Amino acid sequence: MPSASIKKKISCSKKNLIEMVLDIEKYPEFVPWCLDGKINDKIDKGEVIEIKADLTIGKSFFRDTYKSFIIYKKLEDSIHVTNIDGPLKHLENKWFFRQDGDTSEVEFHVDFELKNKILNILMIKSFDLGLKKIADAFEKRANDLFH
């Protein structure tokens, strides 16, 4: 099961970064291989926001939609994502945000496994490159929006 972590410093507030990450319906505008994003349910419980969303991803012959459950913990400045349904056997990603002067430090951890064993092997081979492209896309989006 592939897993990785990436840490970046981005010149904007953590509040803006968190809002950008939670704006799932905008992902197709900037996230590689993301074809559609839809929020199905969003509940603000005060210190926690819970979201159920669909993300359609695709590349070449592969196109599928997975459902995810997102928990944003406001006091911890963290976002935790797990899969509910779709092509993923397992998905867990965590975002942590920390303000450092005029910049924010973002830490992202992901680990996943596809149900399809052949596609899973293909994904493992390109996982590091894909993660870097996605992280760079979020950084570029933040720079475009907040500068």
Domain ranges in the chain are 3-146
Per-residue pLDDT tens digits for 70-128 = 999 999 999 999 999 877 778 899 999 999 999 999 999 988 777 777 665 666 666 67
Find out if CATH 3.30.530.20 is the number for domain 3-146.
Answer: yes
Choice between 20 and 1, residue whose per-residue pLDDT is larger: 20
Closest to 79 (Cα-Cα) out of 96, 59, 64: 96
* pTM of the shown model: 0.89
Alpha carbon of 5 to those of 18, 19, 22, 135: distances in Å?
A: 18, 21, 19, 10
Q: Alpha-carbon torsion 44, 50, 53, 57, what sign?
A: positive
Collapse the DSSP code of 147 into the 3-class scheme (helix H, G, I; strand E, B; otherwise coil) and give the result.
Answer: coil
